A and B are shown apart, each in its own frame.
Chain A
């Protein structure tokens, strides 16, 4: 089955530590995204990437970093500079190209719940 895999499902870290969240997709999608969701809130875009070795900041990129070395993988690092890192992190992917103009639907992974104490 094709899909997006995020791991781990739950993650606990001490304040001051960097932590990397994994996101892998086998849908052959060009674009990948990271969203953050706080309890009872909507989704806010952290970073996105339309092509390998290229990525752009979203609305709340401060304190986060990403890489896109392979089409299938888009890991997110939550650094110690992120002031409120505890949240639900969702990775998504979509087809992106001239035909779709980037408006194709997002496929989401199951998410990673990060708790920092």
Chain B
């Protein structure tokens, strides 16, 4: 079945450093979604990418969708303590009726 993998599993950074998490799918995706889960909270939708090679920015966050639509990345510039949490990517199955989540990357930021 479809698999969605994320690396790294954990990342510790000093506040102000950059951070990147990578997402790879075993199948070509029609779109990819990113979510953030704060410690003790629930996942919150961040963004959806649809087009091959698409790049979207949200303030210090930059999201990319690969040309082959099988991989994606999230880059955070100059991390802040408010960025702490786990970032998940998720892709739909071929039928488009369910999402498969990656294992997530847990970001910890030292002030």
A40 to B98, CA, bound (A): 22
Check B95–A102 contact: CB distance below 8 A: yes
Check B48–A103 contact: CB distance below 8 A: yes
Is A63's CB within 8 Å of the partner chain B? no
Please name all residues of chain B whose beta carbon is closer than 8 Å to the beta carbon of A43 when the two chains form the complex.
43, 88, 101
Closest CB in chain B relative to A116 CB, distance in Å: 20
Is B78's CB within 8 Å of the partner chain A? no
A45 to B100, CA, bound (A): 8
Q: How many residues of chain B are within 8 Å of chain A by beta carbon?
A: 26
Is B59's CB within 8 Å of the partner chain A? no
Interface band, chain A:
20 to 34
Check A58–B99 contact: CB distance below 8 A: no
Check B101–A48 contact: CB distance below 8 A: no
Chain B contacts to A: CB under 8 angstroms? 1, 6, 30-31, 33, 35, 41-45, 48, 88, 90, 92, 95-104, 106
Chain A contacts to B: CB under 8 angstroms? 31, 33, 35, 40-45, 48, 50, 56, 58-59, 90, 96, 101-103, 105-111
Supply 11 A–B pairs (Cβ within 8 Å), ascending by A.
A33-B98, A42-B88, A45-B100, A48-B97, A56-B98, A96-B97, A102-B95, A103-B92, A105-B33, A106-B43, A110-B42
